[in-house]
Structure 1
Amino acid sequence: MAELTLDPKTTALILIDLQHGIIALPVKPYSGPEVAERGSKLAAAFRAAGSTVAYVRVDMADILHLPADQQMRDPNAPPPPAIASQLAPESGYQEGDLLITKRQWGAFYDTGLDQQLRRRGIRTIVICGIATNIGVESTARAAFDMGYALVFVEDAMATISAEAHEFSIKGIFTRMGRVRSLNEVVAALGQ
């Protein structure tokens, strides 16, 4: 595996859906609170290096609902409480971080995220969050299509099953970018 080095000026950390209604879900191979805590550690390291930190949250009351054989949530159920869409404090969000609100799985469509990153000269995205094979993978696929270099923080993401997590990590992410641990990513920043 090649050594990872990151230029803090052209690298952004994107944290996906570390909000109350998501980190409370039963996810694997790491728990939601573990992922949020690791995301917070990454954010602190990226801020210290002078990098861009972006938190993405999904508006759970306004998420896109299209016909599907297996709905993510009953479309006739009352909307979740507003707090479900708010970032969890343990995720480490701070004033000055970018805050992006999405209404579908991926963080790029109709959110202004690409414009915010390009204005800052970002060429590499380090990504983590919940769920590995949903919000993280959808965001990564769009970023890959737009020409961003990608780094995936394997121990700072989780999803509905360890098998689904492993499939995205080994079957998809290794073909789109580099998969590393939190410690390897922090070391690559020179922190």
Structure 2
Amino acid sequence: MKDSIYLVLDMENDLVHADGPNGKAAYGEQVNGRRIIENTREALRKARAAGLHIGFVRVGFSPDYRECPPESPIFSGARKNGIFKLGTWGTEVHPDLGMQPGDFDIVKHRVSPFYSTSLEAILRAKGIRRIYCSGMSTNAVVQATVRDGHDRDYEMVVLEDCCCALSAEEHEQSIAGLKRFCRLTSSQDVVFE
């Protein structure tokens, strides 16, 4: 579909890989329990079969963390913990998701993939009107993507079973808050159009 894209949000090793720092903590439990990797892989298979554009959004900073806001409650620990460093294994897309050379690679330095990235230019150049999205975490990048995309007049569709947060409660609250701004579906039920 020429006017649709599937954005896979922050599914990078530092956050979702079993060997990554967050994969060994609460995020890892949610990723495994909700089968986020497997569900996302299935959604990607369907999206590719339907001819959708595919984009992977990754959060990352230069090795000296020059783009990292030191006072940010969500990013201030990145430098201290040595995570989200571009050019390292941690900021690569999880290998099971099968990123391909023709996929868009959008690097962001804040929560929203629309802020100071190439995303808007890609969407305009490709004539995108509908954005399917999913990722980690529901209450951060997924919410930011849906709200920012909605306010830019894109039709937003969230694959709910390809998303998770630190807890099931956070995920459910986030999804409840997003219902006004998007259409909800799943990796099993989605019909990419």
Q: After TM superposition, is the score higher than 0.5?
A: yes
Q: Once the two structures are superposed, what CA deviation does each residue of 1:11-64 show, in whole Å capped at 9, x if it has no partner?
A: 110000111101042326543893122222212211111111100111155463
Moved more, 9-18 or 56-65: 56-65
The 1:57/1:33 distance shift into structure 2, 3 A limit, reads: farther
CA distance in 2, matches of 1:76, 1:55: 23
Residues 22, 32 of structure 1: 8 Å contact kept: no
Which amino acid in the other structure matches residue 184 of structure 1? D
Q: Secondary structure at the match of 1:164?
A: helix
Q: Secondary structure at the match of 1:175?
A: coil
Q: Secondary structure at the match of 2:58?
A: strand
CA distance in 2, matches of 1:67, 1:140: 25
Which amino acid in the other structure matches residue 183 of structure 2? R
Aligned to 1:79: 82
Aligned to 2:68: 64
Identity percentage of aligned residues:
28
The 1:33/1:22 distance shift into structure 2, 3 A limit, reads: farther
The 1:134/1:13 distance shift into structure 2, 3 A limit, reads: same
The number of equivalent residue pairs is 179
CA distance in 2, matches of 1:98, 1:58: 14
Identify the match of residue 162 of structure 2 among 120, 145, 156: 156
Does residue 41 of the first structure (1) align with residue 34 of the second (2)? no
Q: Which runs of 5+ in 2 are unaligned?
A: none
The 1:30/1:21 distance shift into structure 2, 3 A limit, reads: closer
Q: Secondary structure at the match of 1:158?
A: coil
| Alignment root-mean-square deviation, CA | 2.2
Residues 31, 158 of structure 1: 8 Å contact kept: no
Identify the match of residue 3 of structure 2 among 10, 30, 34: 10
Which amino acid in the other structure matches residue 10 of structure 2? D
The 1:41/1:71 distance shift into structure 2, 3 A limit, reads: closer
Which amino acid in the other structure matches residue 12 of structure 2? Q
Q: Which runs of 5+ in 1 are unaligned?
A: 1-7
Residues 112, 148 of structure 2: 8 Å contact kept: yes
Give TM-score, length-normalised by structure 2. Answer: 0.83
Residues 108, 114 of structure 1: 8 Å contact kept: yes
CA distance in 2, matches of 1:72, 1:51: 32
Q: Once the two structures are superposed, what CA deviation does each residue of 1:82-114 show, in whole Å capped at 9, x if it has no partner?
A: 211111101221111111111111111111101
Shift of 1:141: 1.5
* Structure 1 segment 150-189 matched on structure 2, within 5 A: 150-170=156-176, 172-185=177-190, 188-189=191-192
CA distance in 2, matches of 1:92, 1:76: 28
Q: Secondary structure at the match of 2:106?
A: strand
Q: Secondary structure at the match of 2:180?
A: helix
Give TM-score, length-normalised by structure 1. Answer: 0.84
CA distance in 2, matches of 1:34, 1:73: 29
